[in-house]
């Protein structure tokens, strides 16, 4: 007697492993991740929203500058944190001690008090900052 399953109309099926190969999917995820990292533009900001005044002679500056933000209420921000005028002076002195050729850009709101901007310019002068600019949007 032959006990073969094919004799009874049954065929012997080979079961395949039900594994899913995710290596190609992981490759695509890493390629997309690299694409988004490369195409993303990284900008440093002051940490506050300001409406810059417009100027026809505005020029682009390098991003390695020290940015000081002034709101229309007159608050001063540096490195995304609010500082007082006295603290700003010591922060600027520390920056100038590390890299004396760094430039300071004051990003002031068009409605910011002029006296606050003048006080910041004075602190820059006391900290021996040689390059100070006011930020504006090109018309």
**Terminal Cα distance for the chain, rounded:** 98
Kindly state the DSSP code that residue 75 receives in the 8-state scheme: -
pLDDT digits (tens, 9 = 90+) for 65-118: 888 888 888 889 887 788 888 888 888 888 888 888 888 888 888 888 888 889
CA distance 42 to 113: 30
pLDDT digits (tens, 9 = 90+) for 15-32: 666 777 888 888 899 999
Domain of 93, in residue numbers: 54-138
Helices and strands (H, E) in the chain, number of each type: 3, 7
pTM: 0.57
Domain assignment present for residue 12? The answer is: no
Domain assignment present for residue 88? The answer is: yes
Domain assignment present for residue 133? The answer is: yes
CATH of the domain at 123: 3.30.420.270
Check pLDDT > 60 for residue 2. no
Q: Would you tell me the crossing angle of helices 114-126 and 85-98 to the nearest 10 degrees?
A: 40
Backbone angles phi, psi at 38, to 5 degrees: -70, -35
Domain assignment present for residue 4? The answer is: no
């Amino acid at each position: 007697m032959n006990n073969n399953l094919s004799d009874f109309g049954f065929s012997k099926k080979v079961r395949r492993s039900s594994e899913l190969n995710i290596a190609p999917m992981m490759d695509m995820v890493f390629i997309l991740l690299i694409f988004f990292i490369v195409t993303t533009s990284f900008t440093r900001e002051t940490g506050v929203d300001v409406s810059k005044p417009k100027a026809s002679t505005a020029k682009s500056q390098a991003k390695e500058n020290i940015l000081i933000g002034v709101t229309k209420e007159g608050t001063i921000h540096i490195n995304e944190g609010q500082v007082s005028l006295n603290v700003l002076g010591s922060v600027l002195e520390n920056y100038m001690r590390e890299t004396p050729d760094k430039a300071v850009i004051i990003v002031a709101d068009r409605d910011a008090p002029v006296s606050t901007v003048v006080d910041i310019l004075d602190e820059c002068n006391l900290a021996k900052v040689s390059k100070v600019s006011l930020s504006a949007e090109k018309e």
